[in-house]
Structure 1
């Protein structure tokens, strides 16, 4: 009986901890400067993965609370953004893009751009 009670308490604590560490997708949780960290794309060969990762290495995106953003990849693009559930829509001089947020924590966000299967992992130092 004691073992059963201990197991129940352990799993209850584990579930409570998982819920407490889950970050909600809000303007506040997204509004940070995110720097490229890695990518997820199981369809790429090792060589393609390496090339894509090297290409994206200096990529940064900063979402600000005033609903403006800067996307840095070769050159800076600036514009505005909106958030609807887990979808960020950015608008800049080239038009609109959507970013789907697959996961977010205080220091990491995993997103895919438009309808791409490839997911990009960004991290923040804050």
Structure 2
């Protein structure tokens, strides 16, 4: 039996999809992590702008200068490379963009993986090139 040829006019139109635009400003309630590929909710306890995955701490280079501005053109993957602590005791993640090399500092969120944060905090202690006694005097 011969196959029927489908003409372009016979196809059904596709449904409209709720996709983010180039800047990622769609009004969705979650995003997919570029590191571990898990769905991450946009709401985060302790911060107004979710900018990293709470599981693997990976981020996407979307902010330029102001947190939440979503004005960066790079859109590269940012890996958490270290931690910093403010004088008031708040922990900050230091991210490094793998595309453009820029560094950024982001607040940790209340639902970040505590094991991943502690692994990053004790990483300098496991480095055999730096004596532990030097780190303890800081």
What TM-score comes out, normalization by structure 2 length? 0.25
Looking at both structures, which has the greater relative contact order when contacts are Cα pairs under 8 Å and sequence separation is at least 6? 1
Higher helix share: 1
Q: Please identify the structure whose Cα radius of gyration is greater.
A: 2
Higher strand share: 1
